[in-house]
Amino acid sequence: MPKADLLEFFDAPSDTPFLIEHVSEEFTSVCPKTGHPDFGHVTLRYEPAAVCVELKSLKLYYQSFRNEGIFYEAVTNRIRDDLAQAMSPRWLQIVTDWKGRGGIRSRIIASHGAVPAAWARG
């Protein structure tokens, strides 16, 4: 089972709002229908309120999906919920990009809060 308790956090280094993006290109889970592995990229974007997620703990949390049977849509919403609950960020977005299955590649986007204006350019 994905383990949200692996996640660790540290205090944001500034009160001035800023934005963080972490892109993991090494995510894999298992298709609950066929049992075959799925491979994707997971992008986390957020504006921290009080805390930031520690990078190594984020990696371990993602690794806990490795042998989990779970659909694309559920992975995306699950990560959004786990991180939003643990960090209470001002804004957070999860974008997952999945390699093709049957000639179709997919992207799922789940957000928490409204997009900050400063993110619109950069």
- The residues binding a copy of itself (CB under 8 A) are 10, 12-14, 16-26, 28, 36-37, 39, 52, 55-56, 58-59, 63, 66-67, 71, 73-74, 76-77, 80-81, 93, 95, 99-112, 114-115, 117-122
In angstroms, rounded to a whole number, what is the distance separating the alpha carbons of residues 45 and 48? 10
Judge contact between 87 and 9, C-beta under 8 A: yes
Among the listed residues 38, 52, 82, 97, the single catalytic one is 38
Is 76 strand, coil or helix? helix
What is the helix (H) or strand (E) element at residue 39, kind and residue range? Answer: strand 37-47
The yes-or-no answer on residue 52 being catalytic is no
Q: Shortest distance, CB of residue 5 to a copy of itself, whole angstroms? A: 19
Among the listed residues 15, 31, 81, 82, the single catalytic one is 31
DSSP state of 1: -
Q: Shortest distance, CB of residue 14 to a copy of itself, whole angstroms? A: 4
Distance between first and last Cα of the chain: 35
The yes-or-no answer on residue 97 being catalytic is no
Q: Shortest distance, CB of residue 30 to a copy of itself, whole angstroms? A: 9
Among 89, 110, 9, residue whose Cα is nearest residue 55:
9
Residues marked as catalytic: 31, 38
